[in-house]
Structure 1
């Protein structure tokens, strides 16, 4: 089948503000624009749901809040909610596809009847990040029998195959936009965009800034995002004496606008999959200094050509990379323009073509 399909995207949540949720809605829009009939399903509803605005496809939430804790009540609740999934899936025309974006959501999908549908299970993090968490065992358990386990890089796919998931392949994320006008790179600002959580390493970025910031009077570090670590990070910032040069910008729905207000982008994560924020910065022509914390990072950034990579966790090295970019406008401009060109290889048309080819291949 090569025509329009029914495609269900099942994620942990429809309303969270985070990389996987952003990817889910971006993919839903792209597939809808191709004529597919898309339905986005979230398991939970967060306490502080993100306003999605008008969407060109329906959304369903299995729970108005969180599911019950482990035990009989949870088991009964999961079976009940899986029955709702079964009813939704049963309405699909031949050739329907279920894409499960996170392994936790797969626990509900496994209890539903997916007969006649192609099921794709995804991991949006690197193999090493998954292996260091409880998700590793769950991926091996829940994705073993899906039609395709999909990760974001060839390097990670090879590692999962080595771990026994022979149904694994890879497909990178699409860059969400390729703006006509890049950042002017005139603001003396380094930009960080991401959840204020341990994995995103904002604590490491503050340590880095304590080394490089004082060398560049007039420069500021703008940190966009919110999260559970915000209070402790603000205390760390104050204890390092950085309050005068760090701006806590909060969450933003205008990522292009945030990036236009900076000349350098910093990624200090402890772990990543295929970081969307990095791609967005490059699309805006903002050169990046990043910890090489995952295959997705060094697949996106060509070190020394369109950005600079540092050893994961080495704040002194990341500070030196930032120092290079902050000190040299011609280097920033050259790398920023190269980044804009190089990131086009992840354009939406090419990536959606590859998704549709995968649907057709798996249907055989």
Structure 2
């Protein structure tokens, strides 16, 4: 009799996972191709106009398509420092010079991008959402921080700095305006540092112009920022600011020793000292 055909080797768990990964990759490529085909149809239907790219990755995705009958505008709402620490700078250098215009948030960042051979840079800061009729009275013992309770804002550092600055300065509170996934963790941080009663979680405020009038200091502890709206809004309301020096946009809004205090990034003791100086000195708060 003829010999039996050899049995195929049994697939291992690794083989099955590899097959599944390849199938996922094929589906992802098909989805991407379908999405690009749909985008190409939409671009072809527009005879003239502008296409505004919200990020370097969007430009990279659209570049293989036929869209040169339109004018491209490339926005970048992070800072140059953040771009340099990521793949964004390479994508900006590769694609943005070919666009009609590149828009960044601050003059300082514009200079940096021009030095990186991105010649078509212009500055367009985000507009203020309100224009107060009169400055804040600065007559409370409240420090404010405005923004989502997200990891990038590093409110853990803010609470730690406030806890250090609060020692011997009774009556002062830290008010956090915003919501986010870290609220429980931050409440525990305040509890551990003994300032749970002094750290007030305000949630989302409907009237931020009125909220700023309650404050005597605004502080920013973010890991990175472009041109932070919290500092711009505080400045418009006449509230002095303390901030980590994380971008040209921050330096544009806070002139160290003139309109506020800048602290080395991630320097929690330095942030505590800067807060303490403003907590102690009402005249300095008014001068800023």
Q: Provide the TM-score with structure 1 as the length reference.
A: 0.65
Deviation for aligned residue 1:129: 1.4
Matches within 5 A, 1:315-354: 315-335=268-288
SS, match of residue 277 in structure 1 = helix
Distance between the aligned counterparts of 1:76 and 1:229, measured in 2? 37
SS, match of residue 30 in structure 2 = helix
CA offset digits 1:144-200 (Å, max 9, x no partner)? 532222222333233333334344343333333221133232332100011223322
Distance between the aligned counterparts of 1:278 and 1:93, measured in 2? 41
Q: Match of 2:177?
A: 224
Which of these two proteins has the greater Rg computed from alpha carbons?
2
Whether contact under 8 Å (1:81, 1:108) holds in the other structure is: no
Q: Match of 2:101?
A: 148
SS, match of residue 82 in structure 2 = helix
Whether contact under 8 Å (1:78, 1:108) holds in the other structure is: no
2:181 maps to 1:214 = no
Structure 2 residue corresponding to 1:177, chosen from 119, 126, 130: 130
Deviation for aligned residue 1:113: 4.2
| RMSD of aligned Cα (Å) | 2.6
SS, match of residue 167 in structure 2 = helix
Distance between the aligned counterparts of 1:261 and 1:101, measured in 2? 35
The aligned length equals 265
Structure 1 unaligned blocks of 5 or more: 1-69, 336-364
Q: Match of 1:64?
A: none
Distance between the aligned counterparts of 2:227 and 2:113, measured in 1? 16
2:28 maps to 1:74 = yes
Structure 2 unaligned blocks of 5 or more: 1-23
2:248 maps to 1:292 = no
SS, match of residue 330 in structure 1 = helix
CA offset digits 1:113-169 (Å, max 9, x no partner)? 433322111211111112223433333444353222222233323333333434434
Whether contact under 8 Å (1:79, 1:111) holds in the other structure is: no
2:164 maps to 1:205 = no
Change over 3 Å in CA distance of 1:152–1:280 after alignment to 2:
same
Matches within 5 A, 1:1-364: 71-86=25-40, 89=43, 94=48, 96-110=49-63, 113-335=66-288
Deviation for aligned residue 1:233: 2.5
SS, match of residue 120 in structure 1 = strand
Distance between the aligned counterparts of 2:83 and 2:150, measured in 1? 16
